[in-house]
Chain A
Amino acid sequence: MIDPIFGACALVSLVSAVMVVTRKNPVYSALWLMQCFLAFAVIFFSLGATFVGAMHILVYTGAILVLFLFVIMLLNLKEHELGSEAPLPQKAVLLVCVALTAGALGWSGYQHWKMESGRTFKGARILTLPKREAPKPVALMDDKNGPLKGDDDKPMTSDWGGVKHVGRELFYTHAFPFEILSMLIIVAVFGGVVLAKRKL
């Protein structure tokens, strides 16, 4: 059975996504995109990804979409400046996309049906979500020295998917990619300034 929260959010996000790619005016696209992102954040929360969901709202809805709206405002496109879209018959790519999506949905629906109707098959483990239970605190471990200690010298715990849990994984195991990412963002900031500034 599909989780009702997930079902509602999936419907909202799919409708919003279709509206994003079909609106002529980019302002409407940006606003539909905001609704789509908020639905995504709710899905993240329902999957126990509290930190990632909060970051999703902050980064996407708070930063990226505001950036989009600012640029739309700066460009101040008039109706004739929007230009013409490709006519629908030329959008043969639509057929390809619809066919691929229908294929993926059909296949997954078939597997879902097989699973629901009790037939087992190879790889069935991947198709069942574990039963949802109250999230248990996760003990945070150092790779070498055992449990991490907090300021009060007690072993540190965190909700699954909480800030401490994700942060421990990020800064212990994936510290190097994180630093590379920070360099990427610095380069992107410089690139953005160089490209958008009229005179350096």
Chain B
Amino acid sequence: MIPYLALSAAMFMIGAFGAVSRRNLLIVLMSIELMLNGVNIALVAFAYHWQNIEGHVFVLMVMGVAAAEVAVGLALIIALFRNRKTVNTGDLTDLKG
């Protein structure tokens, strides 16, 4: 059980690092996917450990939410690129006073 949770934690932190430190919006979205998948590993491992199928249901829910999130996120990126010709968060400082 412990190795599965360790992998889950490591994957979540790699994803968190990417989401916070990268400036390319596409890679930020991919990092968020990594974080969600780290959680999925823990859910499936717990489902196996307790022989409780509910964990699998949760994973399916997370997958649905991730799909919706990527659809909206990529649409936002396309709209942003059309208006500003950039997907770099360092260049998107319109709200700065």
Which residues from chain A sit less than 8 Å from chain B, CB to CB?
A: 2, 6-7, 10, 13-14, 17-18, 20-21, 23, 26, 29-30, 33, 36-37, 40, 43-44, 47-49, 51-52, 55-56, 59-60, 63-64, 67-68, 71-72, 74-75, 77, 81-86, 91, 93-94, 97-98, 100-101, 104-105, 108-109, 111-112, 115, 126-130, 160-161, 165-166, 169-170, 173-174, 177-178, 181, 184-185, 187-189, 191-196, 198
Contacts and interface: CB of A to CB of B under 8 A. Distances in A.
12 contacts: A21-B31, A26-B26, A26-B30, A64-B66, A71-B78, A75-B78, A81-B86, A188-B68, A192-B74, A195-B75, A196-B74, A198-B82
B11 to A, nearest CB: 6
Contacts of A51: 56
Given A47-B45, A129-B48, A184-B65, A33 B30 contact: yes
Contact of B60 (A23, A86, A166): A166
A185 B68 contact: yes
Contacts of B10: 14, 101, 104-105
B59 to A, nearest CB: 5
Given A81-B85, A93-B20, A188-B68, 8 more contacts: A81-B87, A83-B86, A97-B20, A104-B13, A189-B71, A193-B75, A196-B75, A196-B78
B20 A75 contact: no
